[in-house]
Amino acid sequence: MTIYRRFVRAKKGMSTVFGGLFFVILILMGFNLMLWGFIQYDNYNTTLRSMNQNDQLAISENLVPTNPGAQNFTSTSFNIPVNNLGGTTVSIARIYITNISPTGGTHCTSSDPNSQGSCIVDTGSGTQNCAGNGLCYFTNGNVAAGVIYQLIHVNGLTLNDGSGYKVILSTTRGRLFSFFYPWPVNVNSNNPGGQFVTNIGPLSIYFDFKSFNFTQGSQTQSQSAFCVPTSTTMVYWVEVANTATNSGVTLEASTMMEMQPYSANGFGQFVRTWIVSPTSINPASITPYNQNPVPVGNPYYLPPAPANGAAAKTPVYFGGTSQSGTGGINLGNTQDNWLTFIGFYYIYQNQPQGETIPFMDFKSTAGYPGTC
């Protein structure tokens, strides 16, 4: 009996030990599970932040091929001039070239035995015999932020054979920027001597006699604003076009014009005016500008330019004495010449962007129109 009692007491002690060990194991398993959850959640947040950052960098890319699109041709190479108007370096990963009008040859078409479709141009020494005259490749494809007129050199084919080509620049972040060669020409019949236009970002601002105009009173027919009357309330007209093919442009209410007379010796003599509603064609019809979408607002929305045609011009009216205001423009009785600047602030690809441009010089006179 003594031995049996000892065995029972020993068995109870072992149960206590094993029970304690099991409890400790459960605690450790719970702690490990909680720690694993924290680690996975931290990894998720890190990945999410990284993806958001990559998305923001991709959105900030704004690579703009410039006229004439392709240049410096040889028998087997050419250059592509580009501007980087975005906030980050753009790296070109691949260039796609498609012959959309094979009037001069069948290169880069499905009839081309070498490319059997669009020509694909990679970096380095080239891997595609895309045009029948050597391996295709390009160099100088890293375009730093703010760089103007960098030349991307394409070797292995040429575009100046009389056909029409679409060229797509694909970046390492998955963005696509394209242009056509030959570069589309926008013919202005009102300006046979050439184009009077200033280009900023995706916008083209025209300032020929038919594009920079004004109205007074209840006029519906505008007239050239290079000479205007003094002591008269006016609305200025400026024709603007969106040349970007990948996004529309919406003008913000802070877009404004500033006019400085030659005789000014202080800021008090400046005249400023902001954009007004697209229905404000004259001082008698001015309504405040509301940049919200219709039907709540009535914004200036400039649609994307067609891929192979001229961008549509939109008249933009200036006549607010304050942002989202009215009142018209009145230069007082100052007879002078005025240096004019316009600050365009707009939404492009869902991102705000703005530039200030030197625009033109015009004259105000009390003897209008006889003393112009």
Alpha-carbon distance 178 to 307, whole Å?
9
Alpha-carbon distance 242 to 204, whole Å?
6
Q: Any idea which residue has 């206590």 for tokens?
A: 16
* Distance (Å) of CA 124 to CA 72, 98, 140: 20, 21, 10
**Phi/psi class of residue 57: alpha, beta or left (left: φ > 0; alpha: ψ in -120 to 50)?**
alpha
**Are 103 and 162 in contact, with CB atoms under 8 Å apart?**
yes
Q: What pLDDT is attached to residue 194? A: 42
Q: What domains are defined for the chain?
A: 70-181 (2.60.40), 197-365 (2.60.40)
Helix (H, G, I), strand (E, B) or coil at 4: helix
**Are 154 and 79 in contact, with CB atoms under 8 Å apart?**
yes
Q: What pLDDT is attached to residue 128? A: 59
Main-chain phi, psi angles of 172, to 5 degrees: -70, -20
Alpha-carbon distance 321 to 45, whole Å?
48
For the record, the structure tokens of 310 come out as 């001229």
**Are 95 and 157 in contact, with CB atoms under 8 Å apart?**
no
Q: Any idea which residue has 């160099």 for tokens?
A: 139
Mean pLDDT per 10-residue segment, the chain (372 residues)? 57 64 80 82 75 66 85 88 86 89 80 80 69 73 87 87 87 86 56 62 85 92 92 94 87 94 72 95 95 88 78 92 94 89 91 83 89 85
**Are 109 and 117 in contact, with CB atoms under 8 Å apart?**
yes
Main-chain phi, psi angles of 38, to 5 degrees: -60, -45
Residue 62: which H helix or E strand, with range?
A: none
Closest CA to 203 of 317, 350, 312: 312
Find the length of the chain: 372
Beta bridge partners of 251: 346
Alpha-carbon distance 69 to 50, whole Å?
34
